[in-house]
Amino acid sequence: MNSRRDFVKMLGMAGGFALAPALVRSVRAEWGAPFSQSTLFTLGVASGDPRDDSVVLWTRLAPEPLDGGGMGQGAVDVTWKVATDPAMTNVVRIGVKSAQGRNGHAVAVNVEGLQSDTWYYYQFSCLGETSRIGRTRTFPSPGATPSEMRFALVSCQDFEAGYYAAYRDIAMQDLDFVVHVGDYIYEGGVDARVPDPQRRHNGSEIMSVDDYRNRYALYRLDPHLQAAHAAFPFIVTFDDHEVDNNYAGLTPEDQQTAQAFLQRRSNAYQVYAETMPVRPNVHEKKGSINLYRSVNFGDLAEMFVLDTRQYRTNQPCGDGLAFCDGIFDPAATMMGSTQEEWLFRNLRQSRSTWKVMAQQVMMMRWDLGALSQVIPNLPPHFFNVDAWDGYQVARDRVMAFLAAEQIQNAVVLTGDIHSAWAANLKADFTDPSSAIVGAEFVCTSITSTFGDTNAAVVPQTLPSNPHIRFFDGLHRGYSRCTVTPERWRTDFRAVARVPNPFFTVPSPDIAVFDRASFLLRAGQPGLSQIV
């Protein structure tokens, strides 16, 4: 959701930034030295997609990170090594991978043959320089029964909306991994009204491979984001802003031709696959990306990581807050039939205690119709149609599946909306006595703004959506989940508010605290608030 624009436009209220003309700047002098001794490894290191015997290690050679990378077109060998100790003395794996110009000299290595359920340390070297040391881990084997799994759920980290205090806090947590459900970058041009010139976008709206590389580099130069990547493996999926706001399949937000948008989406997917710690084969076919997958943490949890952007049909009735017949179109799809069948088949077969769906946009029903009582000319029911509420037959098919197959302990993890929510998912959301078929936790944004006006309006809609048990639009932050065979706890971590006209996070050093905590008990559907 581009919440500022959509919400405010719909409700006819004041506010929101306008996009200003491009301002290109170089921040290399400010960012280059302090976070790496190296001029090659300016973007740090990352790891991701752990399995019980393997994990993906990532880096990218970029002496000119904001200007195409600076490595030219030639290939360069990069040595990687994995050790069991943080001093990198007990090396258990070592290898060489060629960094290629066509990949922006990014390197992703799927290191195999590792011990299950084990922490490792890793480092790259090239041309006499070494990267920082990263830490990562493998997951417990299938059949193992781990006593606990801890992770952070994050999304929506608009660089222009401020500093990554949330990542500073994440990097200090005792976690097994981080789940990122999208809006890792924002594609828009520089907003000259952003109060802090250190936090403005580089260049205008991004279109080319170089544009996307330079934008990812701007974000990845942030020291707290780098620290979080160096501390934990990430399990990632994208939402819209990694390509274009609220795009659907091959339908762009604005007036771009189909041909131009196809090329742009292809550029965006290529650079996403280059930049994120995902398996090297996700981008085998140019123009598309194989992002949906499942990840097992022993028998404790199976996490289905979904892609609700690439295969969806276009949003009905625009892509803001709206109501029209298209919301109930039985042919509308979020996942596409292949992914949906894969999800249902694997949910049915899963032997894990917790069945987790990590995905982009809100799955719960959120009817804003109550606002028609207080704001003239609004319809009696309306919805955020970029979310599953715009695809209600497809959503209700998931709910009906969970009910009919008696899938136990289903948990949906969501981002996108820049505010924190907890809800019970219902077989029939319009019937308060209908069965609870799962729970949904929506993390707030790392930085992206929601706006205090919106935060004050939403509570008026909640009495008519009784399955929604928690909402907080006033804080940025993330969600921390602690999962055992008996219970699932979600803590909504909040960055303390520093009032300012743009609702930004003005410093990375702001305190982070527990805003609220919710509990699920295995085998007993329904959320309870514990703090």
Residues forming the site for Fe ion (CB under 5 A) = 156, 183, 448
Residue 448 interacting entry, from Fe ion, Ca ion, none, C-beta within 5 to 8 Å by type: Fe ion
Min. distance of Cβ 511 from Ca ion in angstroms? Answer: 27
**Can residue 240 be called a binding residue for Ca ion (CB under 5 A)?**
yes
Min. distance of Cβ 361 from Ca ion in angstroms? Answer: 7
Backbone torsions φ then ψ of 69, nearest 5 degrees: 110, -45
How many CB atoms are located within 10 Å of the residue 348 CB? 11
How many CB atoms are located within 10 Å of the residue 482 CB? 17
Q: Site residues for Ca ion, window 121-140 (CB under 5 A)?
A: none
- Binding Ca ion by CB under 5 A: which of 191, 205, 239, 440? 239
DSSP string, 418-471: SSEEEEEEESSTT-TTSPEEEEEEE---SS----HHHHHHGGGGSTT-TTEEEE
Instruction: Enumerate the β-bridge partners of residue 124.
Output: 80
Between 169 and 183, whose beta carbon lies closer to Ca ion?
183
Residue 440 interacting entry, from Fe ion, Ca ion, none, C-beta within 5 to 8 Å by type: none
Give the whole-angstrom CA distance, residue 529 versus residue 435. 19
Min. distance of Cβ 241 from Fe ion in angstroms? Answer: 6
Give the whole-angstrom CA distance, residue 229 versus residue 232. 6
Contact 247, 265 (CB under 8 A): yes
Between 146 and 477, whose beta carbon lies closer to Fe ion?
477
User: Which residues, 6+ apart, have CB-to-CB distance to 524 below 8 Å?
Assistant: none
Token readout for 50 is 């752990």
Between 183 and 299, whose beta carbon lies closer to Fe ion?
183
Which residue, among 27, 387, 4, has the nearest Cα to 161 in the 3D structure?
4
**Can residue 340 be called a binding residue for Ca ion (CB under 5 A)?**
no
Give the whole-angstrom CA distance, residue 415 versus residue 110. 27
Give the whole-angstrom CA distance, residue 337 versus residue 371. 35
Between 183 and 187, whose beta carbon lies closer to Fe ion?
183
Min. distance of Cβ 442 from Ca ion in angstroms? Answer: 12
Min. distance of Cβ 243 from Ca ion in angstroms? Answer: 10
Residue 240 interacting entry, from Fe ion, Ca ion, none, C-beta within 5 to 8 Å by type: Ca ion
Fill in the per-residue mask, 249 to 278: x = in contact with Ca ion (CB under 5 A), - = not in contact: ------------------------------
Residue 214 interacting entry, from Fe ion, Ca ion, none, C-beta within 5 to 8 Å by type: none
Min. distance of Cβ 188 from Ca ion in angstroms? Answer: 12
Min. distance of Cβ 496 from Fe ion in angstroms? Answer: 21
Between 272 and 429, whose beta carbon lies closer to Fe ion?
272
- Which of these ranges, 250-258, 263-271, 413-421, 438-446, lies near Ca ion under the rule CB under 5 A? 413-421
Q: Site residues for Ca ion, window 501-520 (CB under 5 A)?
A: none
Min. distance of Cβ 357 from Ca ion in angstroms? Answer: 17
Token readout for 64 is 């000119």
3 state SS of 132: coil
Which residue, among 121, 132, 130, has the nearest Cα to 35 in the 3D structure?
132
**Can residue 416 be called a binding residue for Ca ion (CB under 5 A)?**
yes
List the end-to-end C-alpha distance of the chain, in Å, as a whole number. Answer: 28
- Which of these ranges, 279-287, 366-374, 397-405, 416-424, lies near Ca ion under the rule CB under 5 A? 416-424
Contact 52, 141 (CB under 8 A): yes
- Which of these ranges, 79-87, 306-314, 342-350, 411-419, lies near Ca ion under the rule CB under 5 A? 411-419
Using CB under 5 A as the binding criterion, the count of chain residues that bind Ca ion stands at 4
Between 183 and 244, whose beta carbon lies closer to Ca ion?
183
Which residue, among 365, 448, 445, 348, has the nearest Cα to 405 in the 3D structure?
348
Between 454 and 517, whose beta carbon lies closer to Fe ion?
454
Between 6 and 416, whose beta carbon lies closer to Ca ion?
416
Between 40 and 156, whose beta carbon lies closer to Fe ion?
156
Min. distance of Cβ 187 from Fe ion in angstroms? Answer: 11
Give the C-alpha distances (Å, rounded to integers) separating 486 from 149, 151, 383, 407, 412: 12, 17, 35, 16, 18
- Which of these ranges, 232-240, 429-437, 473-481, 492-500, lies near Ca ion under the rule CB under 5 A? 232-240
Min. distance of Cβ 183 from Ca ion in angstroms? Answer: 5
Fill in the per-residue mask, 168 to 187: x = in contact with Ca ion (CB under 5 A), - = not in contact: ---------------x----
Min. distance of Cβ 392 from Fe ion in angstroms? Answer: 22
Between 156 and 357, whose beta carbon lies closer to Fe ion?
156
Between 16 and 68, whose beta carbon lies closer to Ca ion?
16
Between 239 and 440, whose beta carbon lies closer to Ca ion?
239
Give the whole-angstrom CA distance, residue 77 versus residue 72. 14
Give the whole-angstrom CA distance, residue 412 versus residue 440. 4
Give the whole-angstrom CA distance, residue 497 versus residue 495. 6
**Can residue 191 be called a binding residue for Ca ion (CB under 5 A)?**
no
Could you identify the residue written with the tokens 């032997």?
351
Backbone torsions φ then ψ of 143, nearest 5 degrees: 95, -25
Give the CA angle between residues 88, 93, 95 to the nearest 5°.
105
Between 183 and 386, whose beta carbon lies closer to Fe ion?
183
Give the whole-angstrom CA distance, residue 239 versus residue 445. 13
19 secondary structure, DSSP code: P
Question: Which amino acid is residue 214, in one-letter code?
Answer: N
**Can residue 307 be called a binding residue for Ca ion (CB under 5 A)?**
no
Give the whole-angstrom CA distance, residue 308 versus residue 486. 30
Residue 491 interacting entry, from Ca ion, Fe ion, none, C-beta within 5 to 8 Å by type: none
* Residue numbers at the binding site for Ca ion (CB under 5 A): 183, 239-240, 416
